[in-house]
């Protein structure tokens, strides 16, 4: 999901910040400030201020959320069911009876010329400039309109002219976290048709195995999968008499937030009942004591003990309460026509008569009858059911967050009583394709994505909206992109997706929305009306702008990245389990459905007017009819072609309806090079900006697969006039004759005379015969010319940078060769109210995800703040400082910012080191290329990875129900089973290096693993981004599922290596030593601590292998993993230099565990062979007794007396056993409430002496004579 990057989620992977307030902010309140969370899913981008939200939504592209409560509005606004209109209420409340004309007249135009006409909703039209706009005040209708922005993209103007083209006849597939069919506004369309045609869980997270078949007994009861006896309703038709049964822990179907609420409510009720039982038992004990002063009778003693044990048990249960959640039984049967489903939910109900299976109203596949259920009044969670594989799989579909319902509401919600809160296309229908896996906190999976595409084609959808994504290694690449290309090109679906929330730095667009050619990527825009109404700022900005956190282009291969922009915030329906009707969220997750709804209006009109619908023609119309956001060409990298305009776009479509549907694919190569090819030109590095370059451009017209070869392809010929936005920098031919087979031409880019900084140009083609069509294709050319750092020591200062809300400063610096980290200081002054800034840096390295660093800096008063971050020498660094769009918006003070950055670096011969398991050290040469540096190497091994091969590998064909591609190919699944044994409980994380870290930029469709024990209890599951799981001691099966259509590829993966990673305990962390001599590790001398590097002079040292005993269970072939750093930070806090992983320029170090030492193994064998079975038994008994002694709590005099007796008894049995004597000493020291301290201290001294006397001093002397700690050598030599 694309939540804003560090706010939560893939949407890493879920919702953004949720702020509750009793009412919306008034004008006198300070502005509400939202800041981005990084891109999930993610799984994946996290801001430190929002750790509580980061795992929930790894990948949704929603930026922020807060709850809306409007006590001054009529109650129907919040609580009356939208699908049950109440005319009387509407008549009494003017808020709910606002006419469409009022809506049109009261809205704002997003961008304007110097003077715009604005109607204040009272019938008064004024001419506005910046000053007059700031005086604008919302009225009730404009406020409501701002909560579901539509005027900004021309929706009101379009519907005013075409009221029946409101999405009718259009079907949208919502790829998201699931849609609640009971949510407000999602029951019917504007013309009375069902709003939701199908609801699918494409992830499989709600699947229940119902392959077990039972028959009813003579009493009409069956045995449920949970073991419960279930009574069957006699009216249910079941000709075969066969009942498929399964069960599910209900918390597995609920979101984390809903589960948390239920646990609190259930705990409260449990505590009340438990307290009642405790009170009863205490009273019974009191009454018993009063009635029986002396208890000598055995029965009475037993009664008293039972009461006391009951009380102890009740108290213990109160302390160890753990709610694993209720279990629901599921029953599936075939009634002769369709498969039916019934659930037994008694475990969710307080009343034992409620939730019985026989009282359940049977469901069938939602697509058939469009019926849904609710588990219980307590959870208020809606669900639907779908049956697959001839009754053997039941899918219970719930949403994995509120995100999907909100997205669906923006696109299509219909509120007949509150038209201002309608979605963009209230007449459109939708299907819900849940791609956010409930097991993964709502992160998408490859399985979910593929099944969603299959469903969208099967249902003959017109549009797809997907508000999910994450950063990518390679743009426009991967299995999912290949399938999307097929869906768009062959089946003519229009795919719309969010661009991401990782801005404001360039090249932050996420996959798939911002990186895929076949997908319309949407950026997030905020208008003055949205700022004033939804965000409640004191003074709205004078004109609209892109949200600060909205991701920017270009992609790594030069494509623009963002296609268009749309409003990035709205109040929209949310699921019933949230216990509210609507919620305000903002992010590119919201701009995408806004654009999708606008496109649905266009398709509705095109279908009604019988204009051919093509994703090619619609996208071209969108791009060529936008309103620019910003005044410079470089703004296109943030906003795409601009803010979409539905009305203008439809006019364009009408005019061009007889023109062939063609997409102009662009493929570019630098002259003289065949690889890599690109979709644009991106000159980012210093060398590329110092010379003129020539490029070969291939324009390749693409037709849909059903195009007629004779009527469409043969006759296609266009005379193209080529234009350059600046011919002094970009030179291109004047004309091009384009045919179906494509045509190449050359362009020359000369950036040598450009100033340092960002520059954007385009070469575009115009149809000579129809110039009104606008650009048929565009070749984006982005140049980031970096400044050179010539100072020594290398540092750069930027002084007196002036900021206002939303202002962004971009600096491009050629990082000096040899630099590996930066230490920066930011000073801010000249402001009167608090300020919030984003400080982002980004570098692009080949075949890597962008190297990105972010700090969100808050200033309440003038101050200086320092930070460090990693850099790569020789690569261009983009440094972005942005004042958050709503920060300081009510102030007229300009903020002054000074920034100083100093480059540091130590160049080493080996950055990442592998110790091969031998006793030989590794030599490292270090050199400072820029300035003198403190060389202080530190290396720790903090994790262990144990490799496993699968014990079993099976390939199977998946069912046709959900896993057959539109091409007709059947998807295959490879199941690999790994046997894992843990001798002790541990926190583990599976690692599959070949597959991990990639969802979109991989040619494999999907990966998923589950860890279970011998009883098939599932402890953990995960996908491309594994998570850590705490497992108790025992044996486990890890099953890894890999899906692909190619059998040969899966065959090659049958021996795939998997690692189980475990963090070492603090006592087991290995701190490696450094030496100045190659024999240092064995001789124990020549320790290397630190040195000062002088530029131009290399210095060498040796890194020794682990000298201490390796951690337990370090098997041969295992890998110990950690970090190594070489330089010392100026800003490092006390003790930070000992933790290399905290250094911005740290690198991985690995140690391969060698075979065990033969001598040690022989010694252990000979020692154990001398011990007989009775001797072993005696040792076990002794150790058990000592353990009991250590477990006695000496809290009372009685406890101490028992402890004294037992310790004296054990000393008499094992008088010289050191571990026993040490345990006795430990027990004496741990005592509290000592009455006779002198006597107690004397006991401790005597016990300590006994421990010392029990040690074999000769053996100890020999041990220390052989042991030498090289770390202490240097200190011992100092006098």
Per DSSP, what are the bridge partners of residue 1035? 981
Residue 389 contacts residue 427 (beta carbons within 8 Å) = no
Can you point out the beta strands (E) in 817-862?
821-829, 835-843, 851-859
**CA atoms 994, 1000, 1004, 1005: torsion sign:** positive
176 in active site:
yes
Classify 84 as helix, strand or coil.
Answer: coil
1001 in active site:
no
Task: Measure the CA–CA gap between 673 and 667, rounded to whole angstroms.
Answer: 13
- Catalytic member of 116, 156, 166, 176: 176
Q: Which residues contact 333 (CB under 8 A, 6 or more apart)?
A: 236, 238, 240, 242, 243, 244, 339, 340, 391
Task: Measure the CA–CA gap between 886 and 894, rounded to whole angstroms.
Answer: 14
DSSP assignment letter at 967: T
- Catalytic member of 4, 467, 589, 1087: 589
Sheet holding 775-785, edge to edge: 681-683, 775-785, 757-767, 717-724, 735-739
Residue 127 sits at φ, ψ, to 5 deg, of -95, 130
DSSP assignment letter at 744: E
Residue 1084 contacts residue 1270 (beta carbons within 8 Å) = yes
User: Which residue from 1272, 360, 531, 401 is spatially nearest to 886, judged by alpha carbons?
Assistant: 531
- 1242 exposure class (CB count in 10 Å sphere: 0-12, 13-18, 19+): exposed
Task: Measure the CA–CA gap between 332 and 394, rounded to whole angstroms.
Answer: 8
Residue 551 contacts residue 510 (beta carbons within 8 Å) = yes
Angle of CA points 759, 663, 665, to nearest 5°: 55
- CB hemisphere CA count around 1234 (13 angstroms): 15
Biggest alpha carbon distance in the chain? 113
- 756 exposure class (CB count in 10 Å sphere: 0-12, 13-18, 19+): middle
User: Which residue from 1081, 1168, 1084, 1150 is spatially nearest to 913, judged by alpha carbons?
Assistant: 1150
- 904 exposure class (CB count in 10 Å sphere: 0-12, 13-18, 19+): buried
- Three-class SS string for 749-814? ECCCCCCCEEEEEEEEEEECCCHHHCEEEEEEEEEEECECCCCCCCEEEEEEEEECCCCEEEEEEE
Structure tokens at 288: 């018993």
Task: Measure the CA–CA gap between 693 and 781, rounded to whole angstroms.
Answer: 12
Structure tokens at 174: 């919502």
- Three-class SS string for 890-949? CCCCCEEEEEEEEEECCEECCCCEEECCCCCCEEEEEECCCCCEEEEEEEEEEEEEEEEC
* Cα 390 versus chain centre, distance: 35
Whole-number Cα distances in Å, 1209 to 21, 113, 1224, 1239? 66, 96, 12, 21
Q: Which residues contact 1274 (CB under 8 A, 6 or more apart)?
A: 1087, 1089
End-to-end CA distance of the chain: 62
% helix, strand, coil for the chain, step of 5: 25, 30, 45
740 in active site:
no
- 717 exposure class (CB count in 10 Å sphere: 0-12, 13-18, 19+): exposed
Residue 156 contacts residue 145 (beta carbons within 8 Å) = no
Query: 676 preceded by cis ω (within 30°)?
Result: yes
Structure tokens at 100: 């469409």
Task: Measure the CA–CA gap between 1207 and 1246, rounded to whole angstroms.
Answer: 14
- Catalytic member of 12, 64, 403, 1044: 403
Q: Give the active site residues.
A: 176, 403, 589
């Amino acid at each position: 999901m694309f939540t804003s990057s560090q706010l939560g989620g893939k949407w890493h992977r879920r919702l953004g910040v949720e702020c509750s307030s009793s009412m919306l902010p008034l004008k006198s309140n300070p502005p509400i400030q939202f800041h981005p969370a990084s891109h999930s899913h993610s799984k994946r981008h996290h801001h430190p201020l929002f750790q509580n939200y980061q795992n929930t939504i790894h990948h949704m592209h929603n930026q922020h959320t807060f709850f809306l409560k409007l006590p001054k509005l009529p109650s129907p606004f919040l609580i009356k069911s939208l699908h049950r209109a109440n005319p009387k209420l509407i008549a009494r409340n003017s808020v709910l009876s606002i006419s469409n004309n009022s809506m049109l007249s009261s809205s704002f135009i997003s961008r304007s010329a110097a003077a715009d006409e604005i109607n204040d909703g009272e019938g008064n039209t004024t001419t506005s400039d910046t000053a007059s706009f700031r005086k604008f005040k919302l009225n009730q209708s404009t406020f409501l309109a701002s909560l579901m922005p539509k005027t900004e993209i021309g929706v009101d103007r379009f519907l005013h002219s075409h009221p029946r083209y409101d999405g009718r006849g259009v079907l949208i597939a919502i790829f998201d976290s699931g849609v609640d069919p009971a949510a407000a506004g999602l029951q019917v369309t504007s013309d009375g048709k069902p709003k939701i045609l199908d609801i699918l869980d494409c992830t499989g997270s709600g699947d229940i195995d119902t392959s077990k078949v039972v028959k009813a007994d003579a009493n009409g009861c069956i045995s449920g999968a949970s073991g419960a006896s279930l009574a069957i309703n006699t009216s249910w038709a079941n000709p075969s008499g066969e009942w498929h049964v399964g069960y599910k822990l209900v918390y597995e179907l609920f979101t984390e937030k809903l589960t948390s609420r239920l646990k609190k409510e259930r705990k409260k009720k449990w505590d009340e009942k438990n307290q009642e039982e405790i009170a009863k038992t205490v009273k019974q004990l009191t009454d018993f004591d009063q009635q029986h002063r002396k208890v000598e009778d055995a029965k009475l003693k037993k009664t008293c003990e039972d009461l006391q044990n009951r009380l102890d048990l009740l108290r213990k249960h109160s302390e160890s309460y753990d709610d694993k959640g209720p279990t629901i039984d599921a029953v599936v049967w075939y009634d002769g026509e369709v498969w039916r489903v019934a659930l037994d939910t008694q475990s969710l109900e307080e009343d034992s008569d409620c939730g019985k299976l026989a009282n359940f109203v049977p469901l069938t596949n939602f697509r058939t009858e469009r019926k849904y259920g609710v588990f219980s009044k307590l959870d208020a969670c809606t669900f639907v059911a779908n049956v697959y594989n001839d009754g053997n799989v039941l899918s219970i579909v719930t949403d994995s967050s509120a995100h999907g319902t909100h997205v669906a509401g923006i696109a299509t919600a219909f509120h007949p009583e509150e038209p201002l809160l309608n979605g963009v296309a209230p007449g459109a229908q939708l299907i819900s394709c849940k791609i956010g896996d409930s097991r993964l906190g709502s992160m998408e999976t490859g399985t979910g994505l593929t099944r969603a595409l299959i469903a969208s084609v099967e249902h003959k959808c017109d549009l797809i909206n997907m508000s999910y994504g994450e950063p990518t290694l390679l743009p426009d690449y991967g299995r999912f992109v290949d399938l999307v290309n097929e869906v768009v090109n062959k089946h003519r679906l229009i795919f719309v997706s969010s661009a991401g929330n990782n801005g404001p730095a360039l090249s932050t667009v996420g996959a798939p929305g911002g990186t895929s050619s076949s997908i319309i990527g949407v950026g997030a825009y905020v208008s003055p009306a949205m700022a004033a109404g939804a965000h409640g700022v004191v003074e709205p900005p004078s004109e609209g702008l892109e949200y600060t956190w909205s991701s920017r282009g270009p992609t790594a291969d030069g494509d623009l990245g963002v296609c268009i922009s749309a409003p990035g915030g709205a109040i929209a329906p949310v699921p019933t389990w949230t216990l509210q009707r609507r919620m305000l969220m903002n992010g590119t997750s919201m701009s995408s459905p806004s654009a999708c709804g606008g496109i649905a209006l266009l398709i509705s009109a095109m279908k009604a007017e019988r204009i051919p619908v093509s994703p090619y023609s619609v996208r071209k119309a969108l791009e060529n009819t936008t309103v620019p956001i910003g005044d410079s060409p470089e703004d296109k990298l943030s906003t795409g072609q601009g803010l979409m305009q539905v009305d203008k776009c439809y006019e364009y479509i009408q005019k061009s309806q007889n023109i062939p549907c063609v997409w102009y694919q662009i493929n570019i190569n630098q002259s003289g090079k065949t690889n890599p090819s690109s979709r644009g030109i991106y000159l980012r590095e210093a060398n590329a900006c110092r010379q003129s370059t020539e490029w070969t451009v291939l324009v390749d017209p693409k037709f849909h697969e059903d195009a007629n070869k004779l009527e469409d392809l043969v006759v296609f010929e266009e005379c193209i006039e080529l234009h350059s936005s600046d011919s002094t920098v970009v030179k291109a031919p004047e004309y091009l004759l384009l045919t179906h087979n494509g045509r190449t031409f050359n362009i020359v880019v000369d950036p040598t005379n450009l100033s340092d900084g960002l520059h954007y140009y385009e070469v575009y083609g115009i149809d000579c015969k129809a110039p009104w069509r606008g650009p048929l294709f565009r070749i984006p050319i982005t140049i980031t010319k970096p400044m050179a750092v010539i100072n020594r020591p290398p540092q750069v200062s930027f002084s007196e940078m002036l900021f206002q809300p939303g202002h962004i400063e971009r600096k491009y610096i050629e990082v000096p060769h040899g630099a590996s980290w930066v230490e920066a200081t930011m000073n801010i002054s000249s402001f009167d109210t608090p300020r919030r800034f984003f400080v982002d840096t980004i570098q692009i390295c080949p075949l890597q995800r962008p190297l990105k660093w972010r700090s969100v800096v808050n200033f309440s008063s003038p101050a200086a703040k320092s930070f460090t971050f990693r850099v790569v020498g020789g690569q261009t660094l983009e440094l972005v400082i942005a004042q958050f769009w709503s920060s300081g918006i009510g102030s007229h003070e300009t903020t002054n910012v000074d920034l100083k950055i100093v480059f540091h670096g130590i160049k080493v011969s080996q950055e990442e080191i592998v110790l091969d398991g031998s006793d030989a050290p590794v030599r490292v040469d270090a050199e400072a290329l820029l300035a003198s540096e403190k060389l202080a190497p530190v290396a720790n091994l903090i994790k262990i990875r144990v490799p496993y091969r699968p014990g079993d590998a099976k390939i199977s064909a998946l069912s046709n129900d959900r896993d057959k591609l539109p091409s007709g190919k059947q998807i295959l699944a490879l199941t690999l089973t790994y046997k894992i044994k843990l001798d002790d409980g541990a926190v583990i994380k599976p690692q599959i290096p070949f597959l991990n870290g990639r969802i979109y930029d991989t040619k494999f469709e999907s990966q998923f693993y589950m860890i279970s024990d011998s009883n098939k209890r599932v402890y953990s599951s995960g996908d491309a981004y594994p998570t850590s799981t705490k497992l108790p001691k025992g044996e486990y099966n890890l099953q890894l599922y890999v899906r692909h259509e190619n059998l040969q590829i899966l065959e090659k993966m049958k021996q795939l290596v998997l690692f189980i990673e475990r963090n070492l305990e603090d006592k087991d962390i290995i701190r490696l030593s450094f030496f100045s001599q190659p024999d240092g590790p064995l001789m124990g001398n020549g320790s290397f601590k630190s040195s000062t590097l002088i530029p131009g002079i290399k210095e060498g040292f040796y890194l020794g292998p682990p000298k201490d005993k390796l951690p337990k269970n370090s098997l041969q072939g295992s890998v110990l993993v950690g970090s190594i750093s070489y330089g010392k930070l100026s800003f490092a806090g006390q003790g930070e230099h000992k933790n290399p992983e905290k250094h911005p320029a740290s690198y991985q170090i690995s140690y391969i565990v060698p075979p065990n030492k033969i001598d040690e193994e022989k010694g252990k064998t000979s020692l154990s062979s001398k011990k007989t079975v009775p001797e072993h038994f005696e040792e076990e008994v002794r150790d058990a007794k000592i353990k009991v002694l250590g477990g006695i709590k000496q809290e009372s005099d009685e406890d101490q007396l028992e402890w004294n007796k037992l310790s004296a008894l054990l000393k008499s049995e094992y008088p010289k056993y050191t571990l026993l004597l040490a345990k006795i000493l430990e027990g004496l020291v741990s005592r509290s409430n000592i009455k006779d301290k002198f006597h107690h201290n004397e006991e401790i001294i005597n016990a300590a002496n006994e421990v010392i006397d029990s040690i074999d001093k000769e053996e100890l002397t020999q041990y220390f004579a052989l042991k030498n700690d090289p770390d202490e050598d240097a200190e011992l030599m100092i006098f």
